[in-house]
Amino acid sequence: MSRIPGLRWDSWPDPIDEHLLRALLHEDLAVARTSWQTFRARTNLDAPNPEQYRLFGAIADRLELIDPEDDRIGMFQGVRRLTAVNTMTKLRQLDEYLQTFDQLGVEPVVLKGTAFVLTVYESFGQRWFADTDLLVAPSEWDRVADEFRRQGWSSIQDDFGGNHGVNLRRGNAVLDLHRLVHSEIVVPGHMAQTMSLLETTVAERPLPSGRLVRVLAPTDALLHTLVHGTQRLLPHNLRWTLDAERLIATAEIDWYRLVNLSRTFRLSPLIHDALLFLDTLTGRPTEPWVTKMLAADRLSLLERMQLDAFHEWPSTGGAMGKGLTNLSWALWRTRSLDRAGLIRHFPQAFAECMGARSIWDLPRVFARRVGGRDTASH
């Protein structure tokens, strides 16, 4: 469970990265400066982890405000320029991708980093992102994916029923083609109807061609940011905290809608904890009634287990360690199913995560693992 008192799960940033985020986000500049000095003293800036490096552009902006005499500020400013070039390159690529969507008569929704640089960040150098995330209706997904594959794109990973989408690669370019905003942001059993519950808007800033694109409305983007940013990853995701702070600071958040969406998608405990964690970084508390309403929502045992599957690394020790890990992955893969679908498909999903061809092959797999002849896990 979480090492941070009052929070659940273990998907929150590590203590040293908390200092970095507080330096970037806290409204009290004295607190921010002290946090930066702590992070600076405990970190080798010549060997940052990938998440730390992706914040170098934002660090440059912040240092110009809280510590302009830092002897490494030039390095951060240089990475900020590289980030801006990366962003402009990705936006030009997006213009090219959208020509294919035009030919198909489909308007995608632009998600995540690409959307944020067109909406809540002041400059292209503040927000680094690697790929382009585009959302299309589940009913259109196969048609769009087939056309991109015809143009020479190939899937990076296998697909499965409850997956949010697939990464496609052509050369050095990567496109994350979504059929869902996120695998957790779905009404179980009603995957195709989920998009109708989400609101979109037109981004204020155009692409280099002058084209305007559609993005999630601010409240819906905040929900997505809190959910996606806190999923279990190593190193822990850090960018979500800056995205969430920018959304709250620059956009009109409908807090009643956020609570209602959290309840609809059975995510209230997660959104509650993510907002509390963000409060500790910014020094600006969320309205108490928001967290109170989120805390009042009670989840079933299955719903709590599904949250755990996305945001808590299961124990890998002991006789049950590998089984718990694969149980967690199976819950992750079947999140979009209703109870009847879960009963029907979960055994096969669990068997595949355990490395078996079917549930009938599980006894052999268990026997091999107990006997120590098979140490593989998902």
Residue 341 has pLDDT above 80, yes or no: no
Tokens linked to 351:
């068997």
In the prediction, which pLDDT does 362 show? 62
Q: How confident is the model at residue 325 (pLDDT cuts 50, 70, 90)?
A: low
Average pLDDT over residues 223-234: 95
Average pLDDT over residues 307-317: 82
Residues 23-61 have pLDDT tens digits of 999 999 999 999 999 999 999 999 999 999 999 999 999
Looking at the chain, the whole-number percentage of residues with pLDDT higher than 70 is 92
Residue 370 has pLDDT above 70, yes or no: no
Q: Give the SS3 label for residue 42.
A: helix
Average pLDDT over residues 325-337: 77
CB-based contact 259:284 (threshold 8 Å): no
pLDDT-wise least confident of 1-15, 42-56, 246-260: 1-15
Mean pLDDT of the chain: 90
Euclidean distance between CA atoms 246 and 294, whole angstroms: 22
User: In the CATH hierarchy, which top-level class contains the domain 15-296?
Assistant: alpha beta
Residues 258-298 have pLDDT tens digits of 999 999 999 999 999 999 999 999 999 999 999 999 999 99
Q: How confident is the model at residue 220 (pLDDT cuts 50, 70, 90)?
A: very high
Residue 378 has pLDDT above 50, yes or no: no
Average pLDDT over residues 155-174: 88
pTM of the model: 0.91
Euclidean distance between CA atoms 209 and 202, whole angstroms: 15
The single residue listed with the structure tokens 């806290």 is 26
Q: Which amino acid is at 185?
A: I
Looking at the chain, the whole-number percentage of residues with pLDDT higher than 90 is 73
Euclidean distance between CA atoms 240 and 225, whole angstroms: 6
Residues 73-120 have pLDDT tens digits of 999 999 999 999 999 999 999 999 999 999 999 999 999 999 999 999
User: Phi and psi (nearest 5°) for 289?
Assistant: -65, -30
Of these ranges, 158-172, 185-199, 272-286, the one predicted with the greatest mean pLDDT is 272-286
Q: Is the dihedral of CA 252, 254, 259, 261 positive or negative?
A: negative
Q: Delimit the domains of the chain by residue range.
A: 15-296, 314-370
